[in-house]
Amino acid sequence: MNDPITVAGLTVNPGEKKNGLLTIPEFFADGQAMEIPFTVLHGKEKGKTLYVQVAQHGSEVMGLEGLRRLITGLAPELMDGTLIYCLPNPLAFRERARATILDPKPGGMNRVWPGDPHGSLTERMAYLIWTELVVHADEVVDLHTAGRNAPVWVFYEADGVSKLASSETALRSEEMAHLFGAPILYVEAEAYGGRKTLRASCVDNGIPAIVPELGGFSQLDEETVMIAYNGIRNIMLNLGIIEGDMAIPETQVKLEWLAEPKKFYAYADKGGIFIPEVKMGDTVEEGGRLGIIYSPRTFETIQVLKAPQTGYIFTIREDPVVHQGDPLISVPRLLERTKN
């Protein structure tokens, strides 16, 4: 039998589901408090704890529907362990923006972890979430949303990128990324964000963590909704929190992410009209032809776009009207193609 758990002052008995609020009093100029909602599903038996959040960038809500389907279908009395869910950034969520206008930090909340109790509005929210919710977690999934028509991928960090994380933490993060079941695993070969992302802060503190980037901005994208649903469910199954069968795609590719985009992006050297000659998912050789830019005045080809390295076509710019210096096609290195 499990023991009761107390999360942010909310006591949840074994086999219960409860909703709670993290509160920061006198948060706003008019004296009103900030309330951050969270939910705890506490299993009947002891087990691992998974923390999941969505929309710390307030416009990135693609993961909500998958989580709704999962959480409303779970029976805590049949669980071994705990699931904690949080909507971490109510300010940006209300504004439907990446970062709140009240605290417009570059990168929004995902550049301030683990927060600061004496810092800005966003830093104070992050600190409360970290100290009251994340502290309970054995593993963390931070759901984001990529651009329109983007593929679904999972960011995780290669072993050795963090100077603080053990190989065990890095390897488990990679396993989580595989289990999530996205078609693309995007491994971070270099650090970014000043180690202030939630994922990096977790890894630095020994908590395996991943960042799924769910393609598109429509909650009605059924394929992406099901990837989110199955992804969280697969990790819970693997942790032994619930029982059932996993849903893993037949094939997955692993790509290399670098902090400097100029190493793997093809750019416009001249302004004009961009016509791609490859499609996402293609593989190309270094120097291979990717497309053209032509002049809207003369219709002459003014640039033949070449692949900066041998790799995988990951993104292609949709807007054909381009200016000098615009990034047009990303070609990260293909590290591995696996069959499951």
Q: Domains plus CATH for the chain?
A: 5-257 (3.40.630.10), 265-332 (2.40.50.100)
pLDDT in tens, 39-64: 999 999 999 999 999 999 999 999 99
Determine the straight-line distance between the first and last CA of the chain, rounded to whole angstroms. 36
pLDDT in tens, 147-167: 777 789 999 999 999 999 999
- Average pLDDT of the chain is 95
pLDDT of residue 219: 61
In the chain, the amino acid numbered 168 is E
pLDDT of residue 217: 63
pLDDT of residue 300: 98
> Is the model's pLDDT at 186 over the cut of 70?
yes
Confidence band for 194, pLDDT divided at 50, 70 and 90: confident
Confidence band for 66, pLDDT divided at 50, 70 and 90: very high
Q: List the one residue out of 264, 294, 292, 287 whose CA is nearest residue 276.
A: 292
Confidence band for 146, pLDDT divided at 50, 70 and 90: confident
> pTM for the full model?
0.95
> Is the model's pLDDT at 237 over the cut of 80?
yes
Taking residue 48's Cβ as centre, other Cβ atoms within 10 Å add up to: 18
Long-range contacts of 156-160 (CB under 8 A, 24+ apart): 156/185, 156/186, 156/187, 156/188, 156/199, 156/209, 156/210, 156/211, 157/187, 157/188, 157/191, 157/199, 157/200, 157/203, 158/187, 158/188, 158/189
Q: List the one residue out of 57, 10, 15 whose CA is nearest residue 38.
A: 10
In percent, the amount of the chain with pLDDT more than 70 equals 99
